[in-house]
């Protein structure tokens, strides 16, 4: 019997993913654990491994398609076996649409059930459902609106008959009658809206002309923007900055790296910062927490999210689990491996989840100082600049040259106050200025 290839759920808040490309073909033999596709989530581009084995009977989704979690995107079975029709592809997710609407009044009281989360999600702005039951990708919907195409007349070639970009582009415009005047929109239901959805102002009509290029934002870019606008709009940030003497830390790093032959295990400045922050968080658990309305989830494990810039734009946080307990050399090797794979689009799902505090380091870009936006529901994020040679006043009041690094912690004022954040930064400074404690 044919087994479906399912769009996986790679995070508690993932509702859909974009298929980037298939790495297998119809008729190909695959085994459990083989990489079969790359998908883009709101957080990263991830390689998907198959959980079934056999012959690829059909591939139902096309590159660029946005597919709901739980939807069949292909089938695997015995050679010569007939795969279910395309119309069955969305069956796993579609039944959740109506129940989700019925459950809307309770949406504020409790999280939506799993089935509802698997449905195409209107609340994230990527819904493909249109009046009359027509389903279309956001790009297809935009192109249809620009060309005046009635999507109910377009035959969809995506999973479950979903209208994708190519369907709209191939539809003869001259055959498309003007769309009838839209009926007054029904008032939105509670379940249709995100808990906190910032209102983005409209800056007028999109400019046109030969000197203007219209660039579609990726799902990741849109998600980053939405999430950080929400953070700045709803999280009361405050900031504490300190300057750290990095001379001893850099000397320790040099000595350690001189004794390490494997280049993959060499220690970076960022590894020292991650380790020091993790040890400091032991003493200030409020900063190692998540904010949930009237409750604070304080974590015994210290999992540091490390912001990684991606080639071509975008950002992903990889997670250094138990950073306070992990030996510095092991931490360095793990961090280097995760960061490299994140930039190659080969990060594993669990490596971009579970962070309890984040660090953004722009030191490698010769940035002196900056502040970072908190990644909700985390309570804080540390922004680190470069270690620079600067003139300093020595203990005997003479001038000398020192190596200084500025660091700023952004903290949710609902969780902590200035004094606690200042004490955290003082301990971080002490650990980096007396770095032998990072080896204990």
Is the separation of the CB atoms in 351 and 343 below 8 Å?
A: no
CA nearest neighbour of 96 among 122, 71, 116: 116
The C-alpha atoms of residue 245 and residue 89 are separated, in whole angstroms, by 59
Chain segment 147-194, per-residue pLDDT in tens: 878 777 777 766 556 677 777 777 776 544 444 444 444 333 333 334
Please determine, for residue 267, whether its predicted confidence score (pLDDT) is greater than 70: yes
Is 319 a residue whose pLDDT tops 70? yes
Query: Quick one: average pLDDT of 110-137?
Result: 39
pLDDT, the chain, mean: 80
Token pair listed for 328: 């510095």
**Residue 86 confidence (pLDDT):** 54
Fold of the 3-77 domain: OB fold (Dihydrolipoamide Acetyltransferase, E2P) (2.40.50)
Give the pLDDT confidence score for residue 160 in this predicted structure.
54
pLDDT tens for 346-390 read: 888 889 889 999 999 999 999 999 999 999 999 999 999 999 999
Q: What is the pLDDT of residue 182?
A: 42
413 catalytic, yes or no? yes
State both tokens at 326.
């992990």
3-state secondary structure the chain: CCEEEECCCCCCCCCEEEEEEECCCCCCEECCCCEEEEEECCCCEEEEECCCCEEEEEECCCCCCEEECCCEEEEEECCCCCCCCHHHCCCCCHHHHHHHHHCHHHCCCCCCCHHHHHCCCHHHCCCCECHHHCEECHHHHHHHHHHCCCHHHCCCCCHHHCECHHHHHHCCHHHCCCCCCCCCCCCCCHHHCCCCCCCCCCCCCCCCCCCCCCCCCCHHHHHHHHHHHHHHHHCCEEEEEEEEECHHHHHHHHHHHHCCCCHHHCCCHHHHHHHHHHHHHHHCHHHCEEEECCEEEECCCCCEEEEEECCCCCEEEEEECCCCCCCHHHHHHHHHHHHHHHHCCCCCHHHHCCCCEEEEECHHHCCCCCCCCCCCCECEEEEEEEEEEEEEECCCCCEEEEEEEEEEEEEECCCCCHHHHHHHHHHHHHHHHCHHHHHC
Higher pLDDT, 417 or 34: 417
Pairwise CA distance, residues 404 & 386, whole Å: 8
How does residue 132 score in pLDDT terms, banded at 50, 70 and 90?
A: very low
CA distance 9 to 383: 31
- The one catalytic residue in 126, 237, 290, 413 is 413
Q: Using the structure block, give the residue that is written with the tokens 């839209």.
A: 182
Per the CB < 8 A criterion, the answer to whether 406 and 381 are in contact is no
Let me know if domain 236-438 sits in CATH 3.30.1370.110: no
**C-alpha dihedral sign at 44, 47, 51, 52:** positive
Q: How many residues does the chain have?
A: 440
Contact in structure between 153 and 143 (CB atoms under 8 Å)? no
Q: 288-310: per-residue pLDDT in tens? A: 999 998 899 999 999 999 999 98
pLDDT reported for residue 111: 36
Asked if residue 408 has pLDDT above 80, the reply is yes
Domain boundaries, the chain: 3-77, 236-438
Q: Which residues pair with 37 in a beta bridge?
A: 22, 48
Beta bridge partners of residue 75, listed in sequence order: 4, 58
Predicted confidence at residue 437, as pLDDT, reads: 95
Q: How far apart are CA 152 and CA 132, in angstroms?
A: 8
């Amino acid at each position: 019997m044919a087994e479906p290839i399912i769009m996986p759920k790679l995070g508690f808040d993932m509702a859909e993913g974009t298929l980037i490309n298939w790495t297998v073909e119809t008729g190909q033999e695959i085994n459990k654990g083989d990489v079969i596709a790359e998908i883009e989530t709101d957080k990263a581009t991830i390689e998907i491994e198959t959980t079934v084995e056999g012959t690829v009977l059909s591939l139902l989704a096309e590159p660029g398609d946005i597919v709901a979690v739980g939807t069949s995107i292909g089938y695997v079975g015995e050679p010569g076996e007939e795969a279910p029709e395309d119309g069955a592809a969305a069956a796993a997710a579609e039944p959740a649409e109506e129940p989700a609407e019925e459950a809307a009044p309770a949406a504020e009281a409790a999280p939506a059930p799993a089935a509802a989360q698997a449905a195409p999600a209107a609340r994230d702005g990527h819904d493909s459902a249109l009046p009359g039951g027509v389903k279309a990708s956001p790009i297809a919907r935009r192109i249809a609106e620009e060309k005046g195409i009635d999507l109910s007349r377009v035959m969809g070639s995506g999973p479950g008959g979903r209208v994708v970009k190519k369907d709209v582009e191939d539809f003869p415009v001259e055959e498309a009658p003007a769309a009838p005047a839209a009926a007054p929109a029904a008032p939105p239901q509670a379940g249709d809206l995100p808990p906190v959805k910032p209102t983005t102002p409209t800056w007028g009509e999109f400019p046109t002309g030969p000197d203007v290029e219209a660039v579609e934002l990726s799902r990741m870019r849109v998600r980053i923007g939405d999430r950080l606008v929400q953070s700045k709009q709803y999280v009361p940030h405050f900031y504490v900055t300190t300057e750290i003497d990095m001379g001893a830390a850099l000397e320790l790093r040099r000595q350690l790296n001189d004794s390490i032959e494997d280049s993959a295990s060499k220690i970076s400045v960022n590894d020292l910062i991650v380790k020091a922050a993790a040890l400091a968080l032991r003493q200030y658990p409020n900063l190692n927490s998540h904010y949930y309305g009237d409750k604070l989830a304080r974590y015994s494990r210290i999992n540091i999210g490390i912001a990684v810039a991606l080639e071509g734009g975008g950002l992903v946080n990889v997670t250094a689990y138990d950073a306070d307990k992990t030996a510095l050399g092991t931490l360095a090797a793990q961090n280097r491996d995760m960061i490299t794979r994140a930039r190659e689009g080969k990060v594993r799902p669990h490596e971009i989840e579970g962070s309890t505090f984040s660090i953004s380091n722009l030191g490698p870009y010769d940035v002196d100082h900056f502040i970072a936006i908190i990644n909700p529901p985390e309570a804080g994020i540390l922004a680190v600049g470069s270690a620079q040679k600067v003139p300093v006043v020595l203990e005997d009041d003479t001038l000398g040259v020192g190596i200084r690094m500025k660091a700023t912690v952004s903290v949710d004022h609902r969780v902590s106050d200035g004094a606690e954040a200042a004490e955290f930064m003082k301990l971080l400074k002490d650990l980096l200025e007396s770095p032998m404690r990072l080896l204990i």
